């Protein structure tokens, strides 16, 4: 489809295979040397050109054999099956960062670092997300399931709150850190338990992140 300006605004949740805090956020190498992640969006307001995307869900699954900047990654998008044909094409383009200025947003950067792009799937997406409580549940039947909960003090069991502040971020400026568990099958299998997760409320556009 022709390239258009785009924007998606709303909360998203990420669960990756790194330890809490995720070294990648600080330009360090990932915890075990590889990077794998599931990212889910609730698009409260969005558009691709004249196509509105309000109220839809979307997911990207990623896997790199090393750090993201070393490339050779795999990615696949899962798009809300409630979307009509124009919305499906629009979200597929946005999730691979199409038309974005190089290096301006995580969607464009991650796609550029993935040498293998698996065609998107159009499926029912169940997504419950509460950024204030730092809880989430993502389910795509037969493919991926993610649960996220607050960090817990290992001694007292009390909830622990931590944030990441990235003034130069390409995904967010402020994120709430949490603990996530993901199982995914298909062309990008994922399996991690009690690993880094974060929530952010951001507006990503074809021109970059808008705080």
pLDDT tens digits for 172-202?
999 999 999 999 999 999 999 999 999 999 9
- Confidence check: pLDDT of 2 > 90: no
The pLDDT tens digits for 91-128 are: 999 999 999 989 999 999 999 999 999 999 999 999 99
Tell me: pLDDT of 36 over 90: yes
pLDDT over 70 (residue 64): yes
Q: Against a cut of 0.75, is the pTM above it? A: yes
Per-residue pLDDT band at 68 (split at 50, 70, 90): very high
What is the helix (H) or strand (E) element at residue 109, kind and residue range? helix 106-112
The domains of the chain are located at 6-210
pLDDT of residue 178: 98
Does the domain made of 6-210 have the CATH classification 3.30.70? no
Nearest residue to 57 (alpha-carbon basis) of 71, 68, 41, 46: 41
Predicted local distance difference test score (pLDDT) of residue 169: 95
* Class of residue 146 by CB neighbours under 10 A (exposed 0-12, middle 13-18, buried 19+): buried
């Amino acid at each position: 489809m022709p390239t258009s300006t785009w924007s998606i605004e709303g909360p998203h949740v990420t669960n990756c295979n790194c330890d809490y805090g995720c070294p990648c956020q600080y330009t360090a190498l990932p915890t075990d040397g590889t990077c794998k992640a599931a990212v889910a969006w609730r698009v409260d307001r969005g558009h691709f050109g004249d196509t509105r995307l309000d109220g839809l869900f979307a997911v990207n699954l990623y896997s790199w054999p090393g750090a993201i900047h070393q490339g050779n990654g795999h990615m696949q998008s899962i798009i809300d099956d409630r979307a009509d044909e124009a919305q499906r094409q629009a979200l597929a383009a946005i999730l691979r960062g199409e038309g974005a200025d190089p290096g301006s947003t995580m969607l464009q950067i991650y796609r550029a670092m993935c040498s293998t792009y698996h065609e998107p799937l159009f499926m029912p997406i169940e997504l419950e997300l509460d950024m204030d409580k730092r809880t989430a549940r993502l389910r795509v039947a037969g493919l991926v399931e993610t649960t996220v909960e607050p960090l817990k003090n290992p001694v007292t069991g009390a909830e622990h709150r931590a944030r990441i502040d990235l003034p130069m971020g390409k995904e967010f400026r402020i994120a709430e850190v949490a603990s996530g568990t993901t199982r995914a099958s298909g062309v990008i299998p994922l399996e991690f338990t009690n690993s880094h997760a974060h929530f952010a409320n951001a507006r990503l556009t074809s021109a970059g992140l808008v705080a």
